[in-house]
């Protein structure tokens, strides 16, 4: 019997145990080929099936309309930070961003290389502890960009900003993709590094409306064009086969247990367990995010002193509760409870936090 801890790391993050078991079982012999999935050609029929299954599962689970392409790309969301403006820029039009934290800030920095960027709202004034409300993007904008969940600060968008109908909304959903249903048709582009909610590190999911593929300038490197990857079904060059394969298994698992709607139910239940501990702690635990902006994925909180926080992290580790240290930009603690985190894990954490409070108050 394998020892298994509860892993609250912000990403790479915990994966569903049945997915890992399946990967382990067939690691030396994939689909009866006598080869590992890592060893089969990306031009083989066995690989074709993995890719086409992964695509179909994304389409089905997210309800992706037929006029959108599903791409599997390299380089993480950090690469999309420049590929978004590069592929969507329009001469003479500004690009509009909302700044809700570290990842938005990085996305904005890359966009600045390609033209005028307007930051139409920011929550930097209060340490990114909230999502600006009543956001409206402007006419005449090349595209509108948000980060739907903010891993570092534990905030999440719980409403749709207003976007003019001819302005594509772009969302970095790295840390909450498939955690709840979204209407894909409300977006021009959705992108997400896989390593939080849908798989391991090393692969990025990009969903892009077809008409937007034609905006890309001619004279840029081939690998930077969504259009090329769309035309080649993400096989322009050798893709990261193993990460895509694990995503496929995780998507199958998501479907099996009830899909994205069921994920939302679980995620709401899980988040409530932890936020209840915080809210009933009489200030022993202090939530970082404003209540209306609380993330269901990353619960951030602080305590009276960093010594106490360190103690809490350390004693949690000893009990098999791993990865609770907060990001240096917020300090304190953070429990990342993505799709694959179980309700048992969350309840065990809640119990521990209550105990820790009663022992250290």
Residues that bind a second copy (CB under 8 A): 2-5, 7, 9-15, 17, 20-21, 23-24, 27-29, 32-36, 38-42, 44, 74-79, 81-82, 106, 109-110, 113, 193, 195, 200-203, 219-224, 236-243, 246, 320, 322-323
User: Residue 186 Cβ, how far from a second copy at the closest point, in Å?
Assistant: 27
Q: What distance in Å separates the CA atoms of residue 31 and residue 7, rounded to the nearest whole number?
A: 30
Q: Is 128 left (phi over 0), alpha (psi -120 to 50) or beta?
A: left
Extract the runs of DSSP E, i.e. beta strands, from 151-195.
155-156, 169-172, 189-193
Q: How far is the C-alpha of 46 from the C-alpha of 23, rounded, in Å?
A: 15
Which residue of the set 69, 172, 226, 325 is catalytic? 172
Tokens found for residue 70: 């599903």
What single-letter DSSP state applies at residue 281? T
For the CB of residue 313, give the shortest distance to a second copy in the complex, in Å.
13
- Rounded to whole angstroms, how far apart are CA atoms 269 and 283? 22
Give the integer Cα–Cα distance in Å for 68 and 49: 20
Closest approach of a second copy to the CB of residue 106, in Å: 8
Q: Which is nearer to a second copy, 42 or 215 (CB)?
A: 42
Distance CA 295, CA 274 (A): 11
Name the residue nearer to a second copy (CB basis): 194 or 213: 194
Q: Which of 47, 69, 72, 103 is catalytic?
A: 103
Please report how close the Cβ of residue 242 comes to a second copy at its closest, in angstroms: 6
Nearest residue (CB) to a second copy, 115 versus 164: 115
Do residues 295 and 176 lie in contact, with contact meaning Cβ atoms separated by under 8 Å? yes
Shortest Å, Cβ 239 to a second copy = 7
CB 96 within 8 A of CB 74: no
Q: How far apart are CA 128 and CA 101, in angstroms?
A: 6
Provide the token pair at 120. Answer: 């139409």
Contact 119, 282 (CB under 8 A): no
Angle at 293 between CA 158 and CA 11, to 5 degrees: 90
Least distance between a second copy and beta carbon 43 (Å): 9
Give the nearer residue to a second copy in terms of CB position, either 85 or 168: 85
Q: Cβ(208)–Cβ(189) under 8 Å?
A: yes
To the query of whether residue 172 is one of the catalytic residues in this protein, the response is yes
Of 105 and 281, CB closest to a second copy: 105
> Given 69, 180, 196, 225, which residue is catalytic?
196
Q: How many Å apart are CA 293 and CA 157, to the nearest integer?
A: 6
Catalytic positions are 103, 172, 196
């Amino acid at each position: 019997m394998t020892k298994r801890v509860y892993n609250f790391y912000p990403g790479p993050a915990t994966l569903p145990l049945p997915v890992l078991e399946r990967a382990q079982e067939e690691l030396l012999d994939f689909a009866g080929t006598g080869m590992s999935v890592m060893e089969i050609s990306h031009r083989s029929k066995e690989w074709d099936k993995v890719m086409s299954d992964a695509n179909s599962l994304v389409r089905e689970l997210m309800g992706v309309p037929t006029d959108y392409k599903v791409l599997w790309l390299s380089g993480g969301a950090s690469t999309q930070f420049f590929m978004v403006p590069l592929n969507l820029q329009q001469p003479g039009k500004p690009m509009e961003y909302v700044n809700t934290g570290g990842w938005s800030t990085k996305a904005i920095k890359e966009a600045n290389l390609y033209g005028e960027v307007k930051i139409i709202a920011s929550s930097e004034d209060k340490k990114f502890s909230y999502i600006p409300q009543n956001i409206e993007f402007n006419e005449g904008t090349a595209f509108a960009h948000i980060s739907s969940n903010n891993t570092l600060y534990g905030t999440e968008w719980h409403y749709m900003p207003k976007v003019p109908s001819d302005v594509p909304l772009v969302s970095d959903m790295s840390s909450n993709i498939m955690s709840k249903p979204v209407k894909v048709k409300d977006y021009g582009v959705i992108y997400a590094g896989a390593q939080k909610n849908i798989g391991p590190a090393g692969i990025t999911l990009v969903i892009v409306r077809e008409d937007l593929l034609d905006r890309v300038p001619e004279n840029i490197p081939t690998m930077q064009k969504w259009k090329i990857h769309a035309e080649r079904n993400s096989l322009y060059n050798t893709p990261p086969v193993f990460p895509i394969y694990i995503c496929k298994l995780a998507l199958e698992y998501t479907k099996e247990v009830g899909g994205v709607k069921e994920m939302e139910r679980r995620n709401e239940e899980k988040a409530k367990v932890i936020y209840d501990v915080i809210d009933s702690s009489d200030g022993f635990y202090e939530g970082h995010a404003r209540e209306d902006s609380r993330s269901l994925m990353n619960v951030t909180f602080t305590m009276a002193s960093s010594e106490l926080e360190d103690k809490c992290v350390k004693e949690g580790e000893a009990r098999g509760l791993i990865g609770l240290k907060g990001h240096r930009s917020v300090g304190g603690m953070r429990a990342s409870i993505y799709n694959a985190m179980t309700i048992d894990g969350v309840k065990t954490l809640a119990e521990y936090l209550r105990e820790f409070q009663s022992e250290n108050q």
